[in-house]
Chain A
C-alpha cells in the first residue's frame, strides 16, 4: 500500500536560508505525488504535483521538488525562505488501490528572523 513519511514534524530555518522539507514515499507502482501547504486558519493549498513527467517539479511561491526513484524521495525545497513561508506542509501520494490521496503527518515550518 502506498504511504508517505515526512521527516521532522517541525523545521526551523532563518529568513533567507534554504528550505528543505523531507518526504519519502512507499509505492509499488510509479506514484503520483503532491505537496500541499496550509497557512493558519486556512484549508490546504496545492503547491506542486509529480505525475511521472519531469523529475524536477516547480510549484507556486518559488518551491520545487525533485522525484528521486532510487531514494524513494520527493523532498520540497526553496532557495531562500521568506517569513510568509511559515506554515504547515503536507506531502501526499495517490493510492493505486482506491485513488485515495494519502497525506503525511505534516511538517510545520518556522522562519526565524
Chain B
C-alpha cells in the first residue's frame, strides 16, 4: 500500500459524458501528479501540482482539467468523453517536485 488513494476504482460511462477522478496523496506529500496509461499510448504524463499550484503540463487534452485543493487532494475532470479516453488513470504523490513518486492503484475508465 503506497498510501495514495484513488476513487473510484472502476468507472463505466458513455461517450459525451463528464467524470471526476479523485486522489488523496500520502500524508505529508505536497506534490500530486496525474498519468494516463493505455495499451497503445503507454504511460503518459498529464499534469503536476505542488501545494495547490499547477507546475507542469504534459499531454493533457483541453477537455481534461485538474486541480489540487487546499487540503492537497486532487481531482481530474474529464469531459466530452470519447472512446479513446478509456484507460487507466493514475495519481502519484511525492514530498516535493522531482522526488520519488508513490502511485495510487489507479482508476480504470471505460467509455462505451
Interface residue ranges, A against B (CB under 8 Å): 32, 34, 36, 42-46, 49, 90, 94-95, 98-103, 105-106
Contacts and interface: CB of A to CB of B under 8 A. Distances in A.
A43 B100 contact: no
Interface string B47-87: 01000000110100000000000000000000000000000
Interface of B: 2, 4, 33, 42-43, 45, 48, 55-56, 58, 90, 92, 97-98, 100-106
B43 A106 contact: yes
Nearest to A43: B103
A101 B90 CA distance: 14
Contacts of B100: 34, 46, 49
Contacts of B48: 100
A45 B2 contact: yes
21 contacts: A34-B100, A42-B105, A42-B106, A43-B2, A43-B4, A43-B90, A43-B103, A43-B105, A43-B106, A44-B43, A44-B90, A44-B103, A46-B101, A95-B98, A98-B97, A99-B97, A99-B98, A100-B45, A100-B58, A101-B33, A105-B43
Nearest to A102: B45
A106 B42 contact: yes
Contacts of B58: 100
A46 B98 contact: no
Given A43-B103, A46-B102, A100-B56, 5 more contacts: A32-B98, A44-B92, A49-B100, A100-B48, A103-B45
Contacts of B56: 98-100
A99 B55 contact: yes
A45 B43 contact: no
B88 to A, nearest CB: 9
Contacts of B104: 43
Contacts of A32: 98
Nearest to A42: B105
A34 B100 CA distance: 8
Nearest to A34: B100
